[in-house]
Amino acid sequence: MKQIDLVTTKTPLRVSFLGGGTDIKNFYGKFGGSVLNSAIDKYVYVTVKRHSPCFQEKFRLNYSKSESGNLLTKIENNIVRECIKLVKINFPIYISTVGDVPTGSGLGGSSSFTVGLLKALYTIKGKKLKKKKLFEEACKVEIEILKEPIGKQDQVPAVYGGLNFISFKKNDTIKINNIKEKKIYGELFKNSLLIWTRDTRSASTVLTNQKKNFKQNIENLKKIKVNADSFYESIKLYKKIDLKKLGVFVNRSWNEKKKLSNKISTKKIDSIIENSLKIGCYGSKLLGAGGGGFIIVFGKKKHISAIKRKYKKLDCLNLDLNNKGSEIISIV
């Protein structure tokens, strides 16, 4: 087999509509979990290249900062370090990454990076990983090895793509229900908008704080799960999406989520969401763990246009579905 010298992957980010927080093992291990989320047309790109011996170093990394050296244990980027260990890379390697949005924006970027990096590392070794195995290894790196206090929802759209209702079982298995009807996801995305708060945050910090309050948050999380289950049942029953009904469930869930930790919302976030609903949008919520990042709003076209005018000083992004998940876009 011909040696592969360079691989670039393109991995989608995600938006989570309902059920966020119920994908944490502490919760779904006892009560089951339910999440409605989707891969979107915003991406993380990872390039992995066999590094020239002329540089006399085993590792060189370029992400938001640069690193180089010969000792794997000295690599500061913990995801890169553990992925290299897991894949057992035994030759000099150069890794570079760039994304469509900043780190800490609430679109699952860390998981997308992990998925894209693992796919690239295995490919450059000449090994093809099935999607199920890629999902499992990404979860292993972030949750088992690095002990990040995150759930398993972000890795699903990164690996599989699509608009999915994900059931997290008590026995630690998942069921992915892909919603394939274009009239459903088409209606959803053409009437949605992302608003960039220009504030970033560490999901780990917010989720660690939330984890400390787990026992007192159980009833809130149960309500969040019920909202996700109820809306998915509506989709199955009517074979279409009711944006007004989605708005009801999203707004209810957002109000429950804010109770999980005092680090989830801010005055700025509350103001944007409240103004969006006053303008007439059906639903609005912060994406990700909390504290900053993107807010998603959805409603009629006139409402979306009004939001763009009101928040023209912030960056508003249209979005669409990604159906492919992580893919290789260049191989040499």
Domains in the chain, please, with CATH? 6-179+322-331 (3.30.230.120), 183-317 (3.30.70.890)
Q: Rounded to an integer, what distance in angstroms lies between the CA atom of residue 272 and that of residue 249? A: 18
Per-residue pLDDT for 4 more than 90? Answer: yes
Each residue's pLDDT tens digit, 129-163 = 999 999 999 999 999 999 999 999 999 999 999 99
CB 106 within 8 A of CB 75: no
pTM of the predicted model as reported, rounded to 2 decimal places: 0.96
Each residue's pLDDT tens digit, 40-85 = 999 999 999 999 999 999 999 999 999 999 999 999 999 999 999 9
First to last CA, the chain: 13
Q: What is the pLDDT of residue 200?
A: 79
Q: Rounded to an integer, what distance in angstroms lies between the CA atom of residue 85 and that of residue 2? A: 24
Give the pLDDT mean for 167-179.
Answer: 97
Each residue's pLDDT tens digit, 83-129 = 999 999 999 999 999 999 998 899 999 999 999 999 999 999 999 99
Kindly give, in sequence order, each residue whose CB lies less than 8 Å from that of residue 318, ignoring residues fewer than 6 positions away. 193, 194
CB 74 within 8 A of CB 32: no
Mean pLDDT of the chain: 95
Strands (E), 142-293: 163-168, 174-178, 192-196, 283-286
Each residue's pLDDT tens digit, 252-261 = 999 999 999 8
User: For the purposes of burial, counting CB atoms within 10 Å of the CB of 91, is it exposed (0-12), middle (13-18) or buried (19 or more)?
Assistant: exposed
Q: Rounded to an integer, what distance in angstroms lies between the CA atom of residue 105 and that of residue 180? A: 27
- In this structure, the dihedral spanned by the alpha carbons of residues 306, 311, 315 and 316, taken in order and rounded to 10 degrees, is -20
Sign, CA dihedral 225-230-235-240, equals: negative
Each residue's pLDDT tens digit, 277-323 = 999 999 999 999 888 999 999 999 999 999 999 998 889 999 999 99
Q: What is the pLDDT of residue 160?
A: 98
Each residue's pLDDT tens digit, 185-237 = 999 999 999 999 998 777 777 777 777 778 889 999 999 999 999 999 999 99
Q: What is the pLDDT of residue 196?
A: 96
Give the pLDDT mean for 168-186.
Answer: 95
Per-residue pLDDT for 245 more than 80? Answer: yes
